Amino acid sequence: MVGGLTRARAASVAAAVACAALALPLLSVAPIVPAGAAAARTSDSAELVAPPTLTALHFPGSFVPQQLIAASGRIWVLGSGAPRTDTRCGLEEITPATMATRMYPLPACAQGIAAGGGRVYLVTAEFVRGTAATQRLHVDVFDPRDGKARILSPVVMSVLGSAIAHIDVTYGDGALWLYGEQMLAGPEVVRISPATGGVTAMLEPVAAIGGIDPAVAADDAGLWLAGGPGGPPGVSWVRPGSGVSTTVFQGAVRSSVSWLSAVGGVVWAGVETYGTGPSPSVLTNLVELDEDGHVVVTSPSELTGDFPLVSTAGGSLWGLAYVGPCGHPEELLQVDRTTGSSQPSVALKSPAQSCDAGVEGSQLAAVGRDVFALIPTDVAGSAVLYRVAT
C-alpha cells in the first residue's frame, strides 16, 4: 500500500468502487525549521542545498477553512464561522510575503472555488421552496480590486440532495466550467460566462461521477474531464470549439482518475488503482497528457495523494502525500516533470484533529516560488496553512 487514506475517505472510495463574527483575524504566524532538516547534497561534487523554509499560519477562533486558491498574486481561503449550519462564510485574503490576512464576508456560502482573469469565482446554492432537497446553483464573483462579491442571477445547474457535495469547477479558455449531476439529466458539464454567470454551452454525455468529486481541468488545449474517485477509469478531452469529447486515456478496470491538473501546457492525472477486500489498498500513478491528448509519461507507483499538483515559478511540480494516521506529519512532495516520480521534500506537522477531516483533505496552491499547503480540520481553531519557500 502506498500511503493511506483518511478513514472517512477510505470508506467513501470503497463504497463507490463496490457500487460502480467572521471578522476574527488570523493572528498566529510563525516561521518553522522543519524537524530534522539539514542541508542536502545533490551529488558528491554539488553544493549543499538548504531545506525549504516554512511559515505556519494558524486559524484561531470560529473560522474553519475549507478550500484555497491562488489569484492576483495572493492566496484566498474559503471558510465558514459556522460550518455545521453552512453560514457566516467568508473569503480570507493572505499576502504571501508577510502572511498578513484580511477577511471579506460573502453573501452566501460556497461549494466550489475557481480563479481566472484576476477574479475569484464561487459556486453557491439556494434551496427551491416547496421541494424536499432541490438546489439551484449560481456563480458568485469576487473582485480583489474592490473586495466585493456579487451573486449573478442565472441558474447554472439544478441538483438534488447530496449531489451538491459532488461538483467541481475550474476556469480556462476564458470561461468557467462546472461538472455536476444535473437533476433529472445525469452528469453534465456546463460552460459559464464569467461576465454574466449564464450557461453558454452544455456538454453531455460525460463520465459518471464516482463517490466523491468529479475532476475537471481546462487550458489552451481544451477541456479535460474524469469521473473522480470511484468513477470510470478514463480521461476525456474536448478540443476548443468542438463540443465533442474523446477518450485519451483508459485505465485498468479497478481504477479511477482521482484528479486532473493543468500546468505548464500539459495535464497531469492522478490514477488510483484499488485492491480488494474490506480495507482496499490504493496505488497511485501519475499520467501526463500533452496538448494533443497523447500520453507522454506514466510514472511508477507514487506517494501523491488526492488533490491536484501545482507548479511554482520555474516549472517545479509539487504535491502532497496521502494523509497518514491522526496527527501524523504530511509530506510535501516534489514531482519530476520528466518521469512523474515523486520525492518527499519536507514534512508538515498536522493538527491531531486532521485525521478525520472528511473528504476535503489537504490542498495546495502556489504563488511565485512559494507553495501553500492547507491542512483543514472540522474543529475550529485547529487548521493550519503552511507557506513553503522553495
Q: Is residue 282 within 8 Å of 228, Cβ to Cβ?
A: no
Radius of gyration of the chain (CA): 20
> In this predicted structure, what is the pLDDT of residue 376?
87
DSSP string, 247-299: EEEE--TTEEEEEEEEETTEEEEEEEEE--SSS--EEEEEEEE-TTS-EEEEE
Please report, to the nearest 10 degrees, the dihedral formed by the alpha carbons of residues 67, 71, 73, 79 taken in order.
-30
The residue extents of the domains of the chain are: 21-72+304-390
Contacts of 332 (CB under 8 A, 6+ apart): 52, 318, 319, 320, 344, 345, 346, 347, 348, 371, 373, 388
Q: Is residue 91 within 8 Å of 77, Cβ to Cβ?
A: yes
Q: What is the pLDDT of residues 101-146, one digit of tens each?
A: 999 999 999 989 999 999 999 999 999 999 988 999 999 999 999 9
8-state DSSP, 15: H
> In this predicted structure, what is the pLDDT of residue 61?
84
Residue 356: what residue type?
D
Distance CA 166, CA 174 (A): 24
Distance CA 138, CA 365 (A): 24
Residue segments in the chain with a per-residue pLDDT below the cut of 70: 1-50, 280, 323-325, 355-362
Q: Coil, strand or helix: which one is 165?
A: helix
